[in-house]
Structure 1
């Protein structure tokens, strides 16, 4: 059985031009909807992810962007359902321990640094304004994720001009590649 792909957008959701929205339309991936995209509460977002994992028909693959990456780490640290996750693609995590971001999105620092209990890959640009390259490398090491350097592509969002982002899709488990 092919796993369900759960899309975990970051703060303010992913707009229609974002690669996550494009994957939803192209591949039928399922976005985990949050109650409040503008004022994210870690416990609420974790509960929504837990419900989505439990609602899946089988294994899941998590595809997270920005705050969604921080959500995966927070959720994995307390969920009893991490065994259902086959793989996590973590793209452009935001450094919510940085003063400016911590004030914009309160309640998410400190970032959970526990190794993830499932295989994962963290993709980061070397010029992301929301997370310095050395911080991305450290998060990948802390989480036990394979690190992929995306080069100078910004926050790997709509502004990065990724389109359907086939390079990102190629990082998913082989059963999902179309």
Structure 2
């Protein structure tokens, strides 16, 4: 009788350990998706990348300016596209693991927007100088590189633009 109880106890412990190990394996495979991210993260990345692909496609159909007059026409469109993209990204349910990088990318994007709006006002007023153009161009490249770093860290490769 005591032997049966001991055997039953060992069997129960073995089943318990087996269940725990299987549960852990399932949690690792399901929770990580086999690729290091949860279902929520994958959904966010897919949604955000789709938004960026759509908005960047619209932006790419807008010819980049080569003259101040073209820039006066281009910048309001580009700024509106960037703001719309940012709003759409902010509206997503962002997993905690992606929030910091998305917020950093969007914050840096707002800095870029301020620079572009200021430059647009200077263009419209005719108060810009060649040095201003060079400075805006340099700042834009630097900020876009920073934005791209944060988008890459968040897995948002379709949001990355060429500098």
Normalising by structure 1, we get a TM-score of 0.26
Of the two structures, which has the highest relative contact order with CA contacts closer than 8 Å and spacing of 6 or more?
2
Q: Which has the higher strand share?
A: 1
Q: TM-score, normalised by structure 2?
A: 0.27
Name the one with the larger helix percent.
2
